Structure 1
Amino acid sequence: MKQSSGQEFSFSKKDFERVRQVLYAKAGIKLADSKDSLVYSRLARRLRILNIQSFQAYLDYLEKTPEEQQPFINALTTNLTAFFREPHHFDALAEYLKKNKRKLTIWCAASSTGEEPYSIAMIVAECFGSFDTPVSIVASDIDSNVLEKARNGIYSVDAVKKLSAQRCRQFFHRGTGRNQGKVRIVPELRKMVLYKQINLMHSNWALSYPIDIIFCRNVMIYFDKPTQVSILKRMIALMPANGMYVAGHSENFNHQRELVTPMGQTIYAPVKSAPE
């Protein structure tokens, strides 16, 4: 990897390897060889903010400065999401809730900016016909910036254009004046979701169990296979036998038959003989 004459900061192959090693150690995320341009563009912003002149100096600073670890992770995590993305999962959630109208806990393990947990909350509110339900929804992410956006629940009008008029009326307030072009989740729905910062690589997730439903979608693809299996084992250990684990469209755990059994398109039931 050579520094382009147009590059603002020197960025060597050694620097890229150090970034990969730190990100894997801190967040379990394995960056592909092809991600050098992404790393440069994302972290160059941090160098400018900190007035650091090279990636080598930044990485030395990162080693000595624990408070820089979160901005580093935030810069390199990808947060692609939408309301009711992969709609068949929400149909399955509605069916599960209809059959289990009782106290339940749902964990959304990669909340990003909130579209997924609020979609879950909408389904819960619709199934119970109320915002006051026996269902607890916990939403977590490693990225502190996106969690703040999720808590605020403010989105562009474009983000909800595919939702039904009924859902838009019931679950969103439309902005006026300075906030024209924006919508905000109604406070009753925001109160249904508890947001927490959780790094899936940490030994303590600080969650109460049992957790009946886990949405962990399009997260595992960033981990290597041993890390995927380790996290899946820990999640399944939190679930009851009739729980539901929801994966992303790019994730397949059909081969992990000692942990889960398929029950739909990228939806699994826990195998409770699984090792904890």
Structure 2
Amino acid sequence: MQAIKESRDLVLTDADFERVRKLIYARAGIALAEHKREMVYSRLAKRLRSYGMQRFVDYLAMLEADENNDEWEHFTNALTTNLTSFFRESHHFPLLAEHARKANGGKFKVWCSAASTGEEPYSIAMTLREAMGSGNAASLLATDIDTSALAKARAGVYADNQVSKISDEQLKRFFQKGKGARAGMVRAQDNLRSMITFEQLNLLAPRWDIEGPFDVIFCRNVMIYFDKPTQARILERFATYLKPDGLLFAGHSENFSYITKVFKLRGHTVYELAQQGRASA
């Protein structure tokens, strides 16, 4: 395969692409397929230009020379895909509300493990507010490896077209319309923001500095970027952070039934702990 060449004669060789694949797999568990080559070029080329570099080999050498280099954060952010929307896979939210109501006013903890730019955790928070009322019984931990995405999530500011799936009643109750320079934008109100704690977390990290157990874990549309052994390890760790009667919500294209015995399918892309998982919990 020929090297890709574009403006300023940036060069991505086959060897460079393989190094990128190995580095992002080791750093974040992301298994980049061969067809992601163009994406790697377009996203990392911006980082090279910020350093005035013309060769990917020089950029990758800089990363490998110092595992604590701040550029690792930009490298990981650049290769992380953040495709999300409010109330995506809508069939999950009535099930979440039903499970939350069973708490009967007690504490209810949710972990959104791939928070991205915030649409999913805010959808969860709205569902819990409507199901449990405005008390402080529900709390939500929202984590992601991508620090730039988390910054957008913390801000809670979205364009009107991004909140089209939210009802007018929910918009009025949970969001504030922007004025002046902010016209055409909305911002999540404090009654949602106060429920959510946003933190950076790498699911491949040897230690998760979070406090469980959780009633519900959302891990939707992120496992598809990991290979099967990595998926199994993460699922087995999830089991230790989930209450015995807890639920795990997966993405529409993810099937965990053949990956691990700690979870069993409860409904469409919804899992509960199997006997082996309950022992871990």
TM-score normalised by length of structure 2: 0.95
What secondary structure sits across from 1:240 in the alignment?
Answer: strand
1:169, distance to aligned residue in structure 2 (A): 0.3
Aligned-pair identity (%): 47
Alignment of 1:55-204 (within 5 A): 55-65=56-66, 66-101=69-104, 102-130=106-134, 132-204=135-207
User: Greater shift after overlay, 55-64 or 193-202?
Assistant: 55-64
Structure 1 residues 100 and 64: alpha-carbon distance in aligned structure 2, compared to 1, 3 A threshold: same
Q: 1:129 is matched by which residue type in structure 2?
A: G
Report the counterpart of residue 35 of structure 1 in structure 2: 36
Report the counterpart of residue 13 of structure 1 in structure 2: 14
Is 1:2 matched with 2:6? no
Cα RMSD for the two superposed structures: 1.3
Structure 1 residues 54 and 257: alpha-carbon distance in aligned structure 2, compared to 1, 3 A threshold: closer
Q: Please list every run of 5 or more consecutive structure 1 residues that lacks an aligned counterpart in the other structure.
A: none
Q: How many residues align?
A: 275
Structure 1 residues 272 and 137: alpha-carbon distance in aligned structure 2, compared to 1, 3 A threshold: farther
Q: 2:57 is matched by which residue type in structure 1?
A: Q
For 2:274 and 2:212, how far apart are their aligned partners in 1? Answer: 16
Please tell me whether the aligned partners of residues 4 and 12 of structure 2 are also in contact (alpha carbons under 8 angstroms): no
For 1:93 and 1:192, how far apart are their aligned partners in 2? Answer: 16
Structure 1 residues 88 and 5: alpha-carbon distance in aligned structure 2, compared to 1, 3 A threshold: closer
Is 1:229 matched with 2:211? no
TM-score normalised by length of structure 1: 0.96
For 1:226 and 1:151, how far apart are their aligned partners in 2? Answer: 32
For 2:276 and 2:61, how far apart are their aligned partners in 1? Answer: 46
Alignment of 1:258-273 (within 5 A): 258-273=261-276
Report the counterpart of residue 26 of structure 1 in structure 2: 27
Q: 2:19 is matched by which residue type in structure 1?
A: R
Structure 1 residues 257 and 10: alpha-carbon distance in aligned structure 2, compared to 1, 3 A threshold: closer
1:143, distance to aligned residue in structure 2 (A): 0.3
Is 1:53 matched with 2:74? no
For 1:24 and 1:16, how far apart are their aligned partners in 2? Answer: 12
1:23, distance to aligned residue in structure 2 (A): 0.3
For 2:195 and 2:166, how far apart are their aligned partners in 1? Answer: 20
Is 1:214 matched with 2:226? no
What secondary structure sits across from 2:83 in the alignment?
Answer: coil
Structure 1 residues 103 and 254: alpha-carbon distance in aligned structure 2, compared to 1, 3 A threshold: same
Please tell me whether the aligned partners of residues 241 and 272 of structure 1 are also in contact (alpha carbons under 8 angstroms): no
1:257, distance to aligned residue in structure 2 (A): 6.1
What secondary structure sits across from 1:273 in the alignment?
Answer: helix
Please tell me whether the aligned partners of residues 5 and 12 of structure 2 are also in contact (alpha carbons under 8 angstroms): no
Q: Please list every run of 5 or more consecutive structure 2 residues that lacks an aligned counterpart in the other structure.
A: none
1:273, distance to aligned residue in structure 2 (A): 2.2
What secondary structure sits across from 1:203 in the alignment?
Answer: coil
For 1:88 and 1:96, how far apart are their aligned partners in 2? Answer: 13
